[in-house]
Structure 1
Amino acid sequence: MKRAEIRVVAHNLRRSLGLEGRLWFPVLQLVEHAFPRLDKKYRFEVAEYDELGDSHGLTERDGDSVCIKIREDIYDRAYADEGRDRGTVAHEAGHYLLHARSPALHSHFGGELKSYEDPEWQAKAFQGELLVPKHLVVGMSAVDVARECGVSYDAAEYQLKLYAAGK
């Protein structure tokens, strides 16, 4: 998927939840409450550091079931509205929405991979498009975007640069 297609997925999700006009997206409520209501084969878990190690989050598929796991320290900081950790949760939500039912979730079959074909790039793009919606942040500073959207300054600056470049 290309960024424009991912932006449509993020926008449609916001619209379906009645949040297309709000800067702050409640990403924990999405993964903890909305996804389980929409998908009976979905689970959300807060995992201990011993289980995930250096991985901040993980989206796994087991047959038809999908589970998003967020490491407990990352979850605690996302719950405390830390932007970087909210981004991690949004990233895993992107894997769930974009890849959970496809072989792309954990596979790459060799050869050169274009960035827009890479599931990690796609999840990162989804994270940015969901948390920093282009239609709402035009003309805002990175400081304002970080505060109003609940993302890190670096994430706000990155998204604004993409938007300014016409992406």
Structure 2
Amino acid sequence: MDYKTKPTTRLELRKLANAFDILADTKDSLYKPVVELLDKIPDIMPFVHYEIVDDNAFEINVPARGYFEPDGNYTIEIKEYVYNGAIQGNGACRGFIMHEIFHPFLYRLGFVPLYERSFKDGELHPYESVEWQVKAITGEYMMNYDQTKDLSKDEIIKQCGVSKVFAKKRKKY
């Protein structure tokens, strides 16, 4: 499920990822400390907190999810296997967590759903899709463009701690 939001470009998302990098004090690190960053999130976004939940807490194909509470706070729920995988350096698990962190970040920057109708994959232009924007900024943060543009896919996987899918997309863009 996806929602339409104000349009943006990959270049703009790259700039926002760099800004987040500065806020998170991770600019000097190619390998982003995702698990450690969870505990720093309240310093960056005081309205965000996370919980590690049982692997059966929600749909099997959803590794983590986030939502706004009625009081305006944002809760990220991360399945236990995803959290443990991220601790062990699993690139996909690390990416799932960062993806959920970037939802409230972009939301607070004005990338909010323009209306409540949800869309199926492929019904929206990528540049106006909430999910595409969050995936793109996650990739831009975890694989800093300037630091990875000359690396091979395998070097990106190793040095950035990302999945093969993420590294392949970096080489594409």
| Distance in 1 between residues matched to 2:9 and 2:63, nearest whole Å | 25
The worse-fitting range, judged by mean Cα deviation, of 95-104 and 68-77 is: 95-104
RMSD after superposition: 2.2
Equivalences, count: 161
User: 1:21-54: CA deviations, max 9, x gaps?
Assistant: 32101122222x1112334432111111222222
Name the structure with the higher helix share: 1
Question: 1:50 maps to which residue?
Answer: 56
1:3 equivalent in alignment to 2:10: yes
Question: 2:86 maps to which residue?
Answer: 78
5+ residue gaps in structure 1?
163-167
For 1:54-65, list aligned pairs within 5 A: 54=60, 55-63=62-70, 64-65=72-73
| Distance in 1 between residues matched to 2:115 and 2:129, nearest whole Å | 10
Q: With CA pairs under 8 Å and 6+ residues apart, which has the higher RCO, 1 or 2?
A: 2
| Distance in 1 between residues matched to 2:105 and 2:68, nearest whole Å | 12
The worse-fitting range, judged by mean Cα deviation, of 2-11 and 104-113 is: 104-113
Name the SS of the counterpart of 1:67 in structure 2. Answer: strand
For 1:132-147, list aligned pairs within 5 A: 132-147=143-158
Q: CA deviation at 1:110?
A: 5.9
User: 1:79-121: CA deviations, max 9, x gaps?
Assistant: 1110011010111111121126868369643685321111111
Question: 1:149 maps to which residue?
Answer: 160
Asked if structure 1 preserves the Cα contact closer than 8 Å seen for 2:113 and 2:130, the reply is yes
| Distance in 1 between residues matched to 2:138 and 2:100, nearest whole Å | 8
| Distance in 2 between residues matched to 1:113 and 1:82, nearest whole Å | 30
5+ residue gaps in structure 2?
1-7
The 1:103–1:30 alpha-carbon spacing in structure 2 relative to 1, beyond 3 Å, is same
| Distance in 2 between residues matched to 1:110 and 1:68, nearest whole Å | 21
Asked if structure 2 preserves the Cα contact closer than 8 Å seen for 1:94 and 1:122, the reply is no
| Distance in 2 between residues matched to 1:35 and 1:28, nearest whole Å | 10
| Distance in 2 between residues matched to 1:68 and 1:93, nearest whole Å | 8
- TM-score normalized by the length of structure 1: 0.86
| Distance in 2 between residues matched to 1:105 and 1:85, nearest whole Å | 26
